[in-house]
Chain A
Amino acid sequence: MPTNTKRKRTAASAVPRARRTKFQADLAPAEDRTVRALKADLQLSSNTDFLSDAVALYGWAVSERKQGHRIVSESADGERRILVFPRLERVAPESALPRVRIEWTPRELESLAELASKDAAKAPTGKLIRAMRD
């Protein structure tokens, strides 16, 4: 019997353990209270489990925004609120962002300069005059 036990121990020690990383955070008292409250709500007893769940949730949110998906909460009566979290917006696809900066080619600048530097502006069209009267 003792021999058998020894063999088992030897087998277990042969499997390499995954290296665990320690994570330490300095929390303000308010954040600490929030973490404790969340752990209580979620019935989590350890910080490790809490962090593991938080990372999973954050990972999911990042992956959704990377695909350009919005994260929406919907109330029972259908009212929707969209999560806008600046750090998450950093991973959203570039193409989904609005284009505000104007790029000008040299020819466009030349053409714009020609139009804007005329002594007299073009006479208004009838449609424009109507628009200003409406």
Chain B
Amino acid sequence: MATVIRRLERSDEVGGFDCGDQPLNSYLQRHAWSNQEKSSIGVTYVAVEDQADRKVLGYFTLAMASIPRDAFPPKHVRGLPAYDLPLLLLARLAVVDSRFAGQGLGHALIAEVFRIALRLADEVGCRCIVTDAYRERTGWYRRYGFEPIEGCAADGPHRMFLDVRTVREAKRS
């Protein structure tokens, strides 16, 4: 049975979603739909088994963000575009539980993130992908080329960066 990744739909079964992390479970169950359909502040993509029930096996949420040019330290703005820096925020990424560990679901989800980032970069402009990774997961993101952003709090998630040009280069390779 194939797994498909698509936008979250109202009738998707999210109530039993358990990735072992309460904030990630809670976000999908309580906020993902309203953030997507009512507020339009972020879109959630879910992995579901094709032709099966609508049980969500994994998800990620994307939102757009930008940083005003004048927020950057003056000595670093020279190499930046003369406008706000547009970025894609990978706000959440979770896979349901250990039954799917090693089956490539996380890989499939992040690959979809990259494809969306490229489409965004081509159609509306997007310079990079930023995510706040749990510290124990930074190695996983590094394997895809994410680089740590320095200056994060020592006890919180680690903010990471991936240049869209790197993703574009990967597509050409």
Contacts and interface: CB of A to CB of B under 8 A. Distances in A.
Given A70-B30, A122-B166, A128 B114 contact: yes
Interface string B122-147: 00000110100000000000011101
Nearest to A121: B165
A129 B151 CA distance: 29
A110 B145 contact: no
A18 interface: no
Interface residues of A, number: 38
B100 interface: no
A122 B144 contact: no
Interface stretch (A3-11, A38-46, A50-58, A101-109): A101-109
A80 B33 CA distance: 14
Interface residues of B, number: 52
Interface string A115-134: 11111111111011101101
B145 A113 contact: no
A131 B149 contact: no
A102 to B, nearest CB: 6
Interface in A17-32: none
Given A84-B38, A127-B144, A128-B114, A102 B130 contact: yes
B25 interface: no
Nearest to B161: A115
Contacts of B67: 104, 109, 112
B171 A115 contact: no
Given A109-B72, A122-B147, A98 B31 contact: yes
A57 to B, nearest CB: 22
13 contacts: A70-B30, A96-B26, A108-B149, A108-B159, A109-B151, A112-B161, A113-B80, A116-B85, A117-B77, A121-B169, A128-B145, A128-B166, A134-B111
Given A121-B165, A128-B114, 11 more contacts: A80-B15, A96-B26, A96-B30, A98-B35, A108-B159, A117-B77, A117-B80, A122-B163, A131-B114, A132-B114, A134-B111
